[in-house]
Amino acid sequence: MRIVLLGAPGSGKGTQGQRLMQHLRIPQISTGDLLREAVARETELGRRAQADMHAGRLVADEIVIEMIHQRLAQPDTTAGFILDGFPRTRPQAAALDVLLEKIRQPLDKVVNLDVPDAEIISRLLARGRVDDTEATIRKRLEVYAQQTRPLLDYYRAEGKLAIVPGVGLVNEIFDRIIAAL
Ligand code: ADP
């Protein structure tokens, strides 16, 4: 099963991705986690990504595409994977399609967790990660609306999109995702 989790920052991709990983026994791959790890380890890549992350901007496409390329080359992904936080732009989605076509493992399903803006903002303020200040949240929602939301049309056109209401109990949302898959 090869799945992409789409949704605004704070929509619950990470939480549901973890659950799906346990349920389906395939790895969850989060570009946000990979980037935070690179920043913490002070790698070259981490140094390049840090300023963008802290300002709520997207990290350059070529950086995250290369990161995903390397991650998907690991043997634990052969049975499938859950992508969380990638792709976030059209060039990333196009690069992913090319990559997966090359290894003959096309995506099965793209799940969009649908959460109203007001709920997103209160969740992110409650989460309190270093990049969850009011200014960066505003910026990230703007970036989401401009660059990531258009991916819904991209995947709808491919016939792979499932829209799942992302409000309610974590368990209920999880059941909806399983039903959509
Ligand atoms: P959330 O989705 O909850 O906002 P993430 O952990 O997915 O948080 O991402 C945190 C930050 O990492 C983003 O604001 C962005 O700067 C960077 N990032 C993560 N994934 C990508 C991506 N696919 N493309 C560009 N930047 C990314």
Q: What spacing in Å lies between the alpha carbon of 101 and ligand 1's midpoint?
A: 24
Give tens-digit pLDDT for 7-48. 999 999 999 999 999 999 999 999 999 999 999 999 999 999
From atom 23 of ligand 1, which residue's Cα is the shortest distance away?
Answer: 86
CA distance 12 to 160: 20
CATH code: domain 2-29+81-180 is 3.40.50.300
* Any atom of ligand 1 within 6 Å of the Cβ of 86: yes
CA distance 151 to 92: 10
Q: Is 6 exposed, middle or buried (0-12, 13-18, 19+ CB in 10 A)?
A: buried
pLDDT at 151: 98
Domain ranges of the chain: 2-29+81-180
Please give the number of the atom of ligand 1 that sits closest to the Cα of 57: 16
Instruction: Tell me the residue ranges of DSSP E strands in 8-97.
Output: 28-30, 81-84
Give tens-digit pLDDT for 134-169. 899 999 999 999 999 999 999 999 999 999 999 999
Provide φ and ψ at 4, rounded to 5°.
-110, 135
From atom 9 of ligand 1, which residue's Cα is the shortest distance away?
Answer: 32
pLDDT at 174: 98
Give tens-digit pLDDT for 38-59. 999 999 999 999 999 999 999 9
Q: The tokens of 93 are what?
A: 């989605």
The arrangement of strands across the sheet holding 161-165 comes to 28-30, 81-84, 2-7, 109-114, 161-165
| CA dist list (Å): 41 to 31, 45, 66 | 15, 10, 18
* Any atom of ligand 1 within 6 Å of the Cβ of 31: yes
pLDDT at 26: 98
In sequence order, the 6+-apart residues with CB closer than 8 A to the CB of 179 are none
Please give the number of the atom of ligand 1 that sits closest to the Cα of 68: 23
* Beta carbons of 53 and 35 less than 8 angstroms apart: yes
* Any atom of ligand 1 within 6 Å of the Cβ of 10: yes
Question: Would you say residue 119 has pLDDT above 90?
Answer: yes
Give tens-digit pLDDT for 53-80. 999 999 999 999 999 999 999 999 999 9
pLDDT band (50, 70, 90) for residue 127: confident
pTM: 0.94
The residue assigned the tokens 């990638």 is 86
Range list of H helices, 61-160: 61-72, 90-102, 117-127, 134-143, 151-157
Please give the number of the atom of ligand 1 that sits closest to the Cα of 56: 14
Q: What spacing in Å lies between the alpha carbon of 181 and ligand 1's midpoint?
A: 24
| CA dist list (Å): 59 to 10, 54, 89 | 18, 10, 11
pLDDT at 145: 95
